[in-house]
A and B are shown apart, each in its own frame.
Chain A
Amino acid sequence: MEFFKIRRDIPFMENALIFNVVSLITFLAAVFFLFSRGLHLSVEFTGGTVMEVNYSQPADIEAVRRVVSGLGYTDVQVQNFGTARDVLIRLPAQKGVSSAQQSDRTLTALKAADPAVTLRRVEFVGPQVGEELVSNGLKALFFVVAGIMVYLAIRFEWKFAVAAIVANLHDVVIILGFFAFFQWEFSLAVLAAVLAVLGYSVNESVVIFDRIRETFRRQRKMTTVQVIDHAITSTISRTIITHGSTQMMVLSMLLFGGATLHYFALALTIGILFGIYSSVFVAAAIAMWLGIKREDLVKHQSKREGDPNDPNAGATV
C-alpha cells in the first residue's frame, strides 16, 4: 500500500505567504479569545473543592444545584460528568471554613435530599498551591522553549531554532485559544498535554529541517525554495503516517479514557493537527524568511570532509 504517489515536489513555499497569513489570523484569534474569555482553570489552579457524586438513577442537576446553593455558596457549578448519573460539583474556596467541613456538609445535605447518593471523589486545593502551579507551569514552559532552542541552535543553526520555536509556540497558543473559546476545563493534565505537544511537534520540524540539511548537501543546484519544497515533499508521507498513528492512540484515549482523560486527549488532538500544519507551513516558511542558506548548514560538513593530505585543499578556481 502507498498513499503518497507524488511525482513532483509540491511547491509549498510558493504559497507560504498565504499560509503565514492564515496562521497569523488563527494566532491572533486565539490570543483574542485567551484575553477576552480567559481560560476556564480547574480547581488545581484556582483553589476550591470539587466533588464527584454518583446517583443510582440519572441525577436531577437542578435539584442538586438547589441543595448546594441552599448551603450559602454563591458561585457553585453543578454539571454531569461522563454519565447522567455522575455529577460534578465545584465549590469555591472559602476563608475560615476548612475543606473537610465543606465537603462533609455538602454530602450530608445531598444525602438528606436523596439517600442513594454516593461520594466518588473529593478534591480540595488551597489557593497557595494553585499560585505555585501557575508559576511552575510557566517555568516549565520557559525551560522547554529554552532547552529546545539551545539544542536546535547547536544541532542546526539559530535560524532553525527560532523558526521551530515560533511555529510550535503558535501551536500552543492555538490550543489554549481553543480551550478559551469553548471554555473547556484547563487542568494539570491538559498542561502536561500542552507541554508534551510542544516537544512532540518540534519533532516534526526537526525531521523536516534534517531533510533540508541533507538536501542542501546532496543537491547543489537547487535553490533554497526548491530544497525546502523537496524536503517537505519527501517527508510528507512519514509526517502523515506518524501523526495518523499517534492520533489513533489519542483517539483511543478519547473514546475509552473516560471523562478524566477527555480534555487531555482533546488538547493532544488539536496539538497534533496543528503540529502538522505548523511544521510544514509555518516553521519551514519562517526559516525561509529568515534566509537560511546552504553555507549555514554545509560548512561544518565540508570542513570535516576536507582531506588533510589533499594538495589542492583550500585552492579556489
Chain B
Amino acid sequence: MNRYPLWKYAILVVALVIGVLYTLPNFFGEDPAVQVSAARGAVRVDAALEARVTNALTQAGIQPLGIERDASSVKARFPNTDVQLKAKDAILKALVPDPNDAAYTVALNLLSRTPAWMGVVNARPMYLGLDLRGGVHFMLQVDMQSALTKKAESYSGDLRTILRDKNIRHAGINRNGQAIEIAFRDPAALQAARGVLADQFPDLQVADRVDGDTTMLVATLKPEAARKVQDQALKQNMVTLHNRINELGVAEPVIQQQGVDRIIVQLPGVQDTARAKEILGRTATLEMRLVDESSEGRAAEAGAGPVPFGSERFLQRDGRPVIVKKQVVLTGDNLTDAQPGFDQQTQQPKVDLTVDAKGGRIMRDVSRENLKKRMAIVLFEKGKGQVLTAPVIQSELSNRFQISGSMTTIEANDLALLLRAGSLAAPMEIIEEMTIGPSLGAENIAKGFHSVAWGFAAICVFMIVYYNLFGVFSSIALGVNLLLLVAILSMLQATLTLPGMAAMALALGMAIDSNVLINERVREELRAGASPQAAIHAGYDRAWATILDSNVTTLIAGVALLAFGSGPVRGFAVVHCIGILTSMFSAVFFSRGLVNLWYGRQKKLKAVSIGTVWRPGADGAITKAE
C-alpha cells in the first residue's frame, strides 16, 4: 500500500533535476563588468565596436576575463572592481573623447558567472531588487489633467482658425477647464458650426447650452479620445525618460508604467540621486528652423568654408552636418502630435505632424515663401542641438503636414517618437523616491540569508530529534521546498527583495506544518494500534484534507496581498503564494515518496522510526479509534 508507481518517482526526479538546474545560477556569483551601449539611435553596436573596446583595454594594459556582445551592448568582465573602474576609464577615454557629445554609454554593471549553456535553457539567477543591490527608485505621477487641458487649448485654437476660414460668425471661443465653449447669436451659424465640428473633429462631442440670447456649443473630448490622449502622454513621457536616462549611463534601467498615470523608474547602482533627478526633470526643446541654403551656407555644409553669420552648424543623427539659420520658425510647444503612417498614394512610410492653429498660420506663410527649401527640426537637450531631420518643403503647408520619402518604417517610427519625445507631454511629479546605498544592499542580502539559514537549521534539528527518521524525511522535504521555491522564482525571473526573503523564511516555517500534521497523524495511528504500514498510509491520507484546507486559507490571504499590495508587499506576496504551492508538493508528495522508498518494500515492517509513540494506560484509552 505504500508504494509509488514508477511514474510518480519519475515526476519527483524530474522536479528535482529542474529545481537544481534553475536554482544553480544563483550560486555562481557575479563578475564586475563594463557595459558599452549606443547612446544614439544611429550608432551601431557591431564587431568593430567590440574590437575598439578590446583595443582600448589592451592599450591600458588591462586583461579582461572575457568580452561578449549582444544586440544592444558590448560587455567586458573583470576580476575585481578596481580593474573594473580602471577599465571603465580606459574605455571612456577611447570611445567617448568628448563627454558633451557621447556616442556611447559606458556603464558599470554586474554580470552573472552562470555558464553559457544554462542561459540557453533560460536558467538565470533571480534579479535582485534595489534594496538588495543598491540604487534609486522613483515613482512619477503624470499630471493628466494638464495633458487634457493642453489638448483642449490646442483644439480651441484649431476651432478658431477653421471657423474663420469657413466664414462662420461666432461670438467668442473660450476654453473653460477641459471644455471649449463657442458662443453663437445666429442660429444658422450655429448649425453650420455644428456641421463643421462633426465633420472635422471626430474626437469632440458637442452639447448645447442656451444662455440668454446666445447659444453655446460646448465641445468636450470624447471619453475614448481622452483616454487616447492620456495613453499617449504617458508613453511619450516614458520615451522621454528613457532618452534622458540613457545619458546617466545606467546598465539596466527599469522604466515601467504603473496604473494609468504613473511611471516607475529604477536605476540600479546609481547613487547620485541629485543628478538623476536633475536629468529626469529636465526639459528638452524642439525647434523648427530653416536650413541656410545660401551659397556660403552650402559651402559650410560641405566643410569648405566658415559658417555664415546668423547661422549655426548642427549634426544630423547620422553625423552629417547641416547649416541652420538661427531664427526659430516654430518651437515644440506648437507641435501637438507626430504619428508614423503610410502615404496613401506612394505607399511610403511617412510621419504626420500636427501643429496648433498659431503654428499652422506661421507654417503656411513660411512654407509659401520657402518652397523647395529645407526645413530642419532641431532637438535641444542639455543646451546641445541635434538635427532630427531636414526635409525639403514640397508645397504650401497648413497645420497638418507630413514628412515622407526615403524612410523605412522603423525610421518613421523612430522619428515620430523623437519628435514627440522632445518634451514631456504633461508635467510629472516625483511622488515616491527611494535610495539604497550599495553597502546596505549587501548587508540586507546577508541578513536575509542568515534568517533563512538559521531558521531552517533550527527546524531541521528539532524535527530530527523529535521525529527521528521521519524528521529526516521532513527536513529533506523542506529542503526540496526551498529548492523548488528558488527555482520557480528564478524561472519567473522574479525580483528578489528583502521582504521576499522574509516571505521565504516564513513560507518554510509554515510549510513544516504539513509534515508535523502528517507525522502526528502517523504517531496517532500507531498509538491506536495500527500496523506500521497501515499507520503510514492512514497518516498521509487523513492529514491531506487538513493540509489542503489550511493551505487554501493561507493562499487566500496571499492572493489578497498580491492583488492589493504594491512595492514591497507584492514582493512578499509573490514568494508567499509560490511557497504555499511548492510546500504542498514537497511536504506531501515528495516526503511520501521518500517514506515509500524507505519503508514501502518491507512487507513485514515491525516498527517505523518516528520517535516515541507513547501509549496511555488502559484507563485513559479515550483516544482509541473505532
Contact = CB atoms under 8 A, between A and B. Distances in A.
Nearest to A241: B516
Contacts of A256: 447, 450-451, 454
B555 A7 contact: no
Contacts of A166: none
B208 interface: no
B141 A192 contact: no
A144 B557 contact: yes
B556 A147 contact: yes
A257 B445 CA distance: 10
Given A104-B274, A258-B444, A261-B447, A124 B434 contact: yes
Contact of B510 (A200, A202, A219): A200
Nearest to B458: A248
A14 interface: no
Contacts of B458: 248-249, 251-252
Given A1-B465, A126-B429, A260-B498, A143 B564 contact: yes
Contacts of B561: 140, 192, 195-196
A5 B452 CA distance: 32
Contact of B568 (A148, A188, A244): A188
A234 interface: yes
A151 B455 CA distance: 31
Interface stretch (B2-10, B72-80, B360-368, B569-577): B569-577
A152 B563 contact: no
B31 interface: no
A248 B546 contact: no
Given A137-B564, A207-B546, A120 B520 contact: no
Q: How large is the interface on B (under 10, 10 to 19, 20 to 34, 35 or more residues)?
A: 35 or more
A119 B437 contact: yes
B616 interface: yes
Contact of A121 (B434, B556, B565): B434
Contacts of B297: none
B462 interface: yes
Contact of A128 (B141, B512, B560): B141
Contact of A9 (B274, B558, B622): B622
A38 B274 CA distance: 35
B443 interface: yes
A271 to B, nearest CB: 11
Interface in B503-547: 505-506, 508-510, 512-513, 516-517, 520, 523-524, 542, 545-546
Given A147-B560, A246-B513, A258-B447, A206 B440 contact: no
Contacts of B224: none
Given A136-B566, A257-B448, A52 B440 contact: yes
Contacts of A100: 273-274, 277, 430, 433
B626 interface: yes
B435 A122 contact: yes
Interface centre among A245, A247, A256 (most CB of B within 10 A): A245
Interface in A28-73: 52, 54
Interface string A109-131: 00000000011111111101100
A255 interface: yes
B437 A120 contact: yes
A2 interface: yes
B439 A120 contact: yes
A242 interface: yes
B interface SS class: helix
Contact of A125 (B432, B435, B550, B558): B432
B466 interface: yes
A162 B313 CA distance: 78
Nearest to B449: A256
A160 to B, nearest CB: 11
A261 B455 contact: no
Interface in B347-367: none
A253 B613 CA distance: 33
B563 A140 contact: yes
Contact of A245 (B459, B523, B558, B564): B459
Contacts of A104: 273-274
B569 A192 contact: yes
Contact of B557 (A99, A199, A241): A199
B444 A260 contact: yes
A191 B569 contact: yes
A200 B619 CA distance: 36
Contacts of B462: 244-245, 248
A6 B454 CA distance: 32
Contacts of A261: 447-448, 451, 498, 502
Nearest to A99: B433
B612 A206 contact: no
A5 B614 contact: yes
17 contacts: A2-B611, A99-B433, A103-B433, A104-B273, A122-B273, A122-B433, A126-B431, A129-B431, A192-B573, A196-B561, A199-B554, A199-B557, A199-B558, A206-B549, A207-B517, A255-B454, A256-B447
Closest 5 pairs between A and B when the two form their complex, measured CB to CB: A199-B557, A249-B509, A7-B620, A126-B431, A252-B455
Given A198-B557, A235-B520, 4 more contacts: A124-B434, A195-B560, A196-B558, A247-B509
Interface of A: 1-2, 5-9, 52, 54, 98-100, 103-104, 118-126, 128-129, 132-133, 136-137, 139-141, 143-144, 147-148, 151-152, 155, 188-189, 191-192, 195-196, 198-200, 202-204, 206-207, 210, 214, 218-219, 230, 234-235, 237-238, 241-242, 244-253, 255-258, 260-261, 264-265, 268
